[in-house]
Amino acid sequence: MTSTFHGLETARRGMTTQQSALHTTGHNISNANTEGYTRQRVNFGQTEPYPNAARNAPRMPGQIGTGVEADFIQRVREGYLDIQYRGENAQANYWETRHASYERIEDLINEPSEDGIGGTMDEFWNALQDLSVNPEDSGARSVVRQRGIALADTFNYVANTLQANKDDLKGEIDTKEKEVNSLLRKIHDVNEQIGRMEPHGQMPNDLYDERDRLIDELSGMMNIEVQEKNSGGQALDAADGIVNVYMVDEDDNRITKLIDGEKREYKELSINSNGEEGNHAFVTDAKFEWVKKAGDDISNESGSDEDIEFVNSPGKLKALVESFGYKNEDGEVTGTYPDVMNKLDDMVYTFASAFNKQHRDGYGLNESTDISFFDSGNATKDNKQGAAKNISMDENIEDSVDNIAAASEYEGDEEDAYAGDGSNAQKLSDIKDLDLGFDGSTTNVQSYYRNFIGELAVDTDEANQKMKNTDNLRESVNNRRKEVSSVSLNEEMTNMIQFQHAYNASARNITMIDEMLDRIINNMGVVGR
């Protein structure tokens, strides 16, 4: 036989459970604008009916329900969308960083413009043309010298600014290294907290959100894989568990484990970008090392992973390393900035060498000969690095414009034959149309420079297009995540009304049962008194 107070307990459970749902609804509304928050819901479950199955159970025609209870509060989140988002986030961050590097180089080269290398070279050629017509004019000679100085200064400026931008990349790599280590440490700490709470049957939803937010941020640095593991103990089946985090390549093959949730260990990143070859600094190596806490022994077999290949794992770090410079499989330093700087050095050295050769064959007003026009510094045919950075006007030309070799060799006897001869100036001007063999190619300096600018434009456009495509894919996946996980105020208000009515109905049920009991206790058996 059921208790007289059975209905009171059933209604009380209803009130308590609906109140929990209202509290959760309020929590959702309060965090509607919180970054990384996942809406939560109370999972309702029927309590065990009366009577329980037993040998001494009372004889009844059926079981009577005993009400409702809140089994647990669960996040509304789709793990598959998280996997998709993190993969797209790695690709999007990679192309954003690549595009930013190309864009900075394009802004520096500043072509087409009057102040760029192309415009400065055109003015230099025009000055030589004028000199070929008026070889005795000191003004024309001074203009050639000034245009030559301006051209050398432009090469110097571009090369020095490229180097400064490259140095900035080194600082950014160091900063991202610290950010990665901070993220790994925070994920590890949250992982530990979750691992201590879940075995007691708790659902630390807010900690799950924090861990997912940190993992999303880490996925922008490199491509990662997240593996969930059960925490053990009395952990609920719906619990997310602790996680292992791996760094993976473009094909999702694991490169190294970053966080070991089961062994409560994590790694820290160390990048060495102090390699030097010629004038190029480059990333020599990178490694992840297990962090050892005071008094603990590292249980993993290997203490560190040497030579992590970031160029195989898309993300911001890969783009930064590729832009800054690294050694490829052939042992050569390559990368966005090293390649651009090498092409510029090759152009400057080859052009200056050809120009100096022709200039040394000519004669100045004072019959001077065998004088170079440009000084390429320490650059050589076998090592052209630094040519653009160090090119300058030859000191003989700096000292006197009479040393500019506008005339060709004269075979007659006239003493002043060189004064009116501008044939060598014309030959110097014609160098712009000569095939100079740039980097093994047969093209002139102007065509080589245009091809260089064209290739840079194509690379920038490609990076821009892929940046937009990957960003759209990331946003598309993120929007689907938000459709599932974000807080809808309209939906929460609807739930609030629903739970409020259920709460009020449970309270009204208690009032009704109280009136029934009052009738039984106070009014039965008093007839005839």
Mean pLDDT of 189-196: 96
pLDDT in tens, 48-62: 888 777 677 777 766
pLDDT in tens, 367-383: 778 999 999 888 888 88
DSSP secondary structure letters along 369-430: BS--SEE-TT--SS--TTHHHH-EE-HHHHH-GGGS--BPP--SS-TTTTTT--HHHHHHHH
Task: With both helix axes pointing from N to C terminus, report the angle between 117-133 and 138-197 in degrees, rounded to the nearest 10.
Answer: 170
DSSP secondary structure letters along 484-523: HHS--HHHHHHHHHHHHHHHHHHHHHHHHHHHHHHIIIII
Are 169 and 340 a contacting pair, CB within 8 Å? no
Q: Quick one: tokens of 322?
A: 């590729």
The Cα 23–Cα 41 span in angstroms is: 10
**475 or 517: whose pLDDT is higher?**
475
Q: Is pLDDT of 329 > 60?
A: yes
pLDDT in tens, 438-451: 766 778 999 999 99
3 state DSSP class of 331: coil
Burial 106-136 (b: 16+ CB within 10 A, else e): eebbebeeeebbbebbeebbebbbbbbeebb
The Cα 243–Cα 231 span in angstroms is: 9
For residue 524, name the pLDDT band (cuts at 50, 70, 90).
confident
The Cα 289–Cα 146 span in angstroms is: 56
Q: How many domains does the chain have?
A: 1
CA count, 13 A, side-chain hemisphere, 382? 0
The DSSP code for 4 is: T
Domain presence at residue 113? no
Which residue range is the domain that position 24 belongs to?
A: 6-76+492-523
The two beta strands, 326-327 and 304-305, are unpaired
Q: Is pLDDT of 528 > 80?
A: no
Domain presence at residue 86? no
Domain presence at residue 246? no
For residue 305, name the pLDDT band (cuts at 50, 70, 90).
low
For residue 299, name the pLDDT band (cuts at 50, 70, 90).
low
Distance set, CA 258 to CA 18, 44, 267 (Å): 43, 38, 5
Asked whether the CA dihedral 483, 485, 486, 488 is positive or negative, the reply is positive
Q: Is pLDDT of 259 > 90?
A: yes
CA count, 13 A, side-chain hemisphere, 247? 27
Whether pTM exceeds 0.85: yes
Mean pLDDT of 11-18: 94
289's CB contacts (< 8 A; 6+ apart) are 267, 268, 270, 303, 304, 305
Residue 119 confidence (pLDDT): 93
For the chain, the distance separating the N- and C-terminal CA atoms, rounded to the nearest angstrom, is 31
The Cα 195–Cα 262 span in angstroms is: 9
For the chain, the average pLDDT equals: 90
3 state DSSP class of 183: helix
Residue 303 confidence (pLDDT): 54
Q: Which of 360, 280, 370, 296 is nearest to 328 (CA)?
A: 280
Kindly report the length of the chain.
529
Domain presence at residue 406? no
Residue 49 confidence (pLDDT): 82
Q: Quick one: tokens of 65?
A: 């329900």
Give phi and psi for 258, each to the nearest 5: -100, -40
pLDDT in tens, 378-418: 888 888 999 999 999 999 999 999 999 999 876 655 555 56
Residue 436 confidence (pLDDT): 87
Domain presence at residue 37? yes
Within its chain, how far is the Cα of 201 from the centroid?
38
Distance set, CA 279 to CA 238, 275, 341, 456, 462 (Å): 57, 10, 10, 21, 28
Domain presence at residue 314? no
Domain presence at residue 135? no
Residue 325 confidence (pLDDT): 93
Q: Which of 353, 351, 377 is nearest to 448 (CA)?
A: 351
Give phi and psi for 407, each to the nearest 5: -100, 155
Mean pLDDT of 177-193: 96
Residue 327 confidence (pLDDT): 87
Residue 44 confidence (pLDDT): 92
Domain presence at residue 97? no
